Structure 1
C-alpha cells in the first residue's frame, strides 16, 4: 500500500471515531430581539409554567411548556430550573450581554384541573402561531378564572367519595349513610380550618380524628345492642375516611418527578405526602386512644375487608372517580374520562387478584392500564393525563389496610410478635401505594411515545388527504 493511500485510510478511520474541531463552525445565529421583547417572552413562558405547576402538572410538563413557548417566539436555549416551590428561567443572548433571568415562587399548590386544561389548550394555540400580545391577554384571562365549583359543592363531593368506598366493600345502606355523614363532618371541619389558614398537617389530624370519633361512637352503640347499629361495621367508616384524607395527595406526580430526574421537586412532594399521611395516622391514633381511655374500643377485624362483587366495585369506583374529579375542579369531559378509566383500573385489579397475584402487584396492573389508556386518549379529547389518571387510581388506595394496622398497634400487647402482626397490614398498604405510583408512572412512560407516534401518523394521513 502506498503512503498516500495509507494516510487516506488513517484519516477515514480518524473521522469515523472522532470529530475534527477545526472543521466545526463556532458561530451561532441569534434572533434579533430587543431586551424588552425577551423579557415579555420569558415572563409569559414562566407564568404559564408557574400556573401549570400550581394546579397539578409535573415538573417535566412545566419544563417542556416553558421551553416550548420560548422556542415558538424565537428564544432557543432557555435554561429552566424547577424546584418544589419555585421556578427560574434564564436566557443568554450572547457573550457580550448580561443573561436575562426571572424567578417565580409557587406559593400555593392546589389541584384545578379545569384551569390546567385551559393552560394546555393555550400552549397548543401558541404552538400553532398565536401572537405574543394575544397570548399574554389570553393567559391573563385564564389566570383570573375562578375555581369551577363553589366550596359547598367541593365539601359534598368529598363526602360523596366515601359513599363510593363503602360501595366497594358492598356495605349496607345504613353503613353508607353513616359513612357519608362522618365524611361530611370531616369535610366541614377541614374547610373551616382552611379558612382560618391552619396548616394542612393539622387539618389532616382533625379530619381523621372526627371520622375516628364518629366510628367509635357508632361502635359503642352497636356494642350496647342499640338497633340498627348492632350490625354496623365501623371499620368501613374509618377506611372510607382514610381514602378521603389521602385522595388529594400527589402520589403520581411525586413518582413521575423522581423518574424524570427532578430529585429536589420529587423529594419535596414526597416529604409533603409523608407529612399529610402522618397527619392522618396521628388523627386516627389519637381518636382510638381517647376512645380506649373512656372505655370504648373497636374490635380488630379478623381478616382484611374484602371488596364486594364486581358490579359493586364498578359502581363504587365510578363514584369515587367522579367525586375526585369534582373537588379537583374538573370539567364534564375530565369527569367522564376519569369514570371510564376508573372502571378499567378496578377491572384490571380484580382480574389480576383472581390469578392469585399479590395486592401490590394487582394495584400496579390496574394503575398501569388506567394511565396507559389515559395518556393515549388524553390528546384527542384535550384533557390532562395527570388529571384523569389521579382520579382513576384513587379507588385502589389501601384505606382498609392502613386502619387495620393502626388499630392493631393500639390493641397490641407490646410484644415483638404482637407488633409484627399489627405492622404487617401497614407493610401491605405501603406495597400497594408503591404499586399504584409505579404502575401509573410506567403507564405514562409507555403511552407517551406511542401517543407521539399515533399523532405523527395522523398528521401524515391528513397531509396525504390534502
Structure 2
C-alpha cells in the first residue's frame, strides 16, 4: 500500500519537476519511488524559488501586493496551491503546510532594498510568465539567479544626467525662464554628482540627502547674491523654483505614494516602513537646505523661499515639463527605451487629467487623483499591448504630481517655527495636504489599474481569436 502511494506521489512530482505540467508524461521514468526526504526537498526548492522571486521584485520597486501575488503564482505553478506569503518592509516569508498533522515548511529572506530597477522587474515578470507556462523548476531557479546578478542597464553618468533633466522638467512645469531652467539643471547636476560620489563610499542615504540639499541651496544662494549685486541675468530669477526642482529630484515623492498604496492594499507594516523612510529622506533634504540657507545668511544673502505652494505655468508648459519629468524618471529607474517613451507620454496624460479636473473646480488633491487614475488606466492597457510592466510606466507617470515639495514645505515650516503656534499650524497644514495628495494619487493608480484589468483581458481574448482565425 505504501509503495503504491509513494509511486503515485513520485510520478506527480517527477512531472512537476521535469516539465512543469502534471499532464506531460513523456520523460517519466518507469520506476519512480520518491522518499519523504525527496518530497520535502522539492517543496523547499519551490518555496525557495517563490521567496527569492518575491524578494527580488520587492527590492527593485514592486509593491507588497504585487510581490504576494507573484510568489503565490510561482508556487502554484509547481503544485503548491495553498501557500501563505508574509511581506514586511525588510523581510519576506513563504509557508506551505501539507496537512493539519504536518509541520509547515517555511522559507524566509531578508530584503535588501536597492534602487528601483524596472528592467530587472520586467525580466522577473517575464520569468513568472515562463514559470506558469511550464518552465522546468531547475531552469527557473537558474534563470532567477542570472536575473538577480544582472547589472543596472545604464551607467552612473547617464543616471546623473537624467536626474538633472528631471529637475529641469520640474522647473518647466513651474513656468521657469530659460535662465532658471539652465541654473536648475546645473544645480541638480552638481547635487546628483555629489550624491553619486558619496553613494560609492557606502555612506547612509540620509547623509547623501543632506549633501544634495546643501549643494542645491548653495547654487540658489549664489544666484540670489548675483542678483543682489545687479547681475542682470539673475535679477528676476526665482530661487524657490531651483530649490523645489532639486527637492523633486532627490525625493520624487514615490516613497510616500508607494507607502500609501501599500496601506490601501492592507500591508500596514510595509507602509509604515516606507513612510519612515520618506520622512528620513525628507529630513535629510531639509537639514541640507537649512545649512545652505544659514551659510547664505552668514555671507549676507537671504534666499526668499515661498511659504505657499509654487503655481504651475501654462498648460503647454505643464505638459512638456511632465513628459520630461516622467521620461527622465523612467530612465533613472532603469526602464528600457520603450518604457521611457511610454512613461513620457503618460506623464503628459497625467497633466491633461489634472488640468481638466482643475478646470471643473476640483481641489489640488482630488485633481491629482483624477490625473493619476487617467494615466494608470491608459498605462495599464498600454502595458499589456506593449509587453512592459504596468508599475514601471504608472510610477513614472505620476511623479509630476507627487507631494515631495509639499512634504518639504511642511517640515521646513515646522523647523523654522521654533515653537511658534502659527508656524506649527502652517507646517502641519502643508503636511496634511501632502498626505491627502499622496492618498489620492495612490488611490487613483490602484483604481485605474483595476479598471484596466478587464479591458486587458478583453483585448487578450480578441488577439487570441484573431490569431486563431488567421491560422
Q: Which category of TM-score, normalised to the shorter sequence, fits these structures? A: 0.7 to 0.9
- Of 365, 368, 381, 1:363 maps to 368
Matches of 1:105 and 1:128, distance apart in 2 = 29
Is it true that 1:214 corresponds to 2:219 in the alignment? yes
- How far did residue 61 of structure 1 move? 1.3
Deviation at 1:310, TM superposition (A): 2.0
Give the 3 Å change call, closer, same or farther, for CA 183–360 of structure 1 in structure 2: same
SS in 1 for 2:159: helix
d(CA) in 2 for partners of 1:265, 1:85: 8
Task: Indicate if the aligned counterparts of 2:253 and 2:404 stay in contact, CA closer than 8 A.
Answer: no
Q: For residue 228 of structure 1, what is the aligned residue in structure 2?
A: 233
Q: 5 Å matches for 1:198-277? A: 198-247=203-252, 249-277=254-282
Q: Distance in 2 between matches of 1:346 and 1:415?
A: 37
Structure 2 unaligned regions, length at least 5? 1-7, 14-38
Q: Tell me the SS of whatever aligns to 2:188.
A: helix
CA distance in 1, matches of 2:239, 2:272: 35
Moved more, 439-448 or 175-184: 439-448
Q: Is the 8 A contact 1:235 1:403 kept in 2?
A: no
How far apart are the structure 2 equivalents of 1:287 and 1:209?
Answer: 5
| Alignment partner of 1:177 out of 182, 188, 191 | 182
Per-residue deviation, residues 306-363 of structure 1 (Å, max 9, x unmatched):
2222222221111111110111111011111111111110111122222222111111
1:273-329 C-alpha deviation (Å, 9 max, x unpaired): 222222222222332233234432123448743222222222111111111011111
Instruction: Find the aligned partners of 1:96 and 1:365 in 2 and give their Cα distance.
Output: 51
- Secondary structure of 1:297's counterpart equals coil
Asked if structure 1 preserves the Cα contact closer than 8 Å seen for 2:257 and 2:402, the reply is: no
Q: Structure 1 pair 374/45, CA: closer, same or farther in 2 (3 Å)?
A: same
CA shift for structure 1 position 248:
6.5
CA contact (8 A) 1:285 1:410 kept: no
2:44 is aligned to 39
TM-score, scaled to structure 1? 0.86
CA contact (8 A) 2:286 2:412 kept: no
Find the residue that maps to 2:85 and give its secondary structure: strand
Partner of 2:340: 335
Contact 1:121–1:382 under 8 Å retained in 2? no
Secondary structure at the counterpart of residue 93 of structure 2 = strand
Q: Cα distance, 1:236 vs. partner? A: 0.9
The answer to whether the 8 A contact 2:252-2:404 is kept is no
Structure with larger Rg = 1
Q: Which residue of 2 aligns with 1:195?
A: 200
User: 1:203/1:129 Cα in 2 relative to 1: closer, same or farther (>3 Å)?
Assistant: same
| SS at structure 2 position matched to 1:250 | helix
Q: How many pairs does the alignment contain?
A: 438
Q: TM-score, normalised by structure 2?
A: 0.85
Provide the C-alpha distance between the structure 2 equivalents of 1:413 and 1:262, rounded to a whole number of angstroms.
35
Specify the SS of the correspondent of 1:235: helix
1:304-319 map, 5 Å: 304-319=309-324
- Tell me if 1:378 matches 2:354: no
- Give the drift of 1:453: 5.1
Structure 2 vs 1, CA of residues 211 and 70 (structure 1 numbering), >3 Å: closer, same or farther?
A: same
Deviates more, 1:320-329 or 1:252-261: 252-261
SS of equivalent residue, structure 1 residue 254 = helix
Report what 2:325 is aligned to: 320
Counterpart CA distance in 2 for 1:78 and 1:413 is 52
Partner of 1:3: none
Distance 1:422 1:115 in 2: 39
Contact 1:367 1:440 in 2 (8 A): yes
Name the CA shift for 1:430/1:100 in 2 (closer, same or farther; >3 Å): closer
Give the corresponding residue for 2:84.
Answer: 79
Per-residue CA distance 1:62-98 (angstroms, 9 max, x = gap): 1111111111111221221111111111222335544
Matched residue, 1:121: 126
Distance 1:103 1:400, change over 3 A: closer
Structure 1 pair 129–413 and aligned structure 2 pair: CA distance change class (3 A): closer
Deviation at 1:193, TM superposition (A): 1.7
Q: Which has the higher mean CA deviation after the structures are superposed, 300-309 or 402-411?
A: 402-411
Distance 1:80 1:425 in 2: 37
Is 2:70 the counterpart of 1:61?
A: no
CA apart distance, 1:439: 2.1
Q: Which runs of 5+ in 1 are unaligned?
A: 1-28
Between the aligned partners of 2:420 and 2:107, the Cα distance in structure 1 is 57
Task: For 1:251 and 1:185, locate their aligned partners in 2 and report how far apart those are by CA, in whole Å.
Answer: 25
Moved more, 136-145 or 215-224: 136-145
Instruction: Identify if the C-alpha distance between structure 1 residues 234 and 378 changes in structure 2 by more than 3 Å, giving closer, same or farther.
Output: same
Corresponding position of 1:14? none
Q: Is the 8 Å Cα contact of residues 211 and 241 (structure 1) preserved in structure 2?
A: yes
Corresponding residue for residue 99 of structure 2: 94
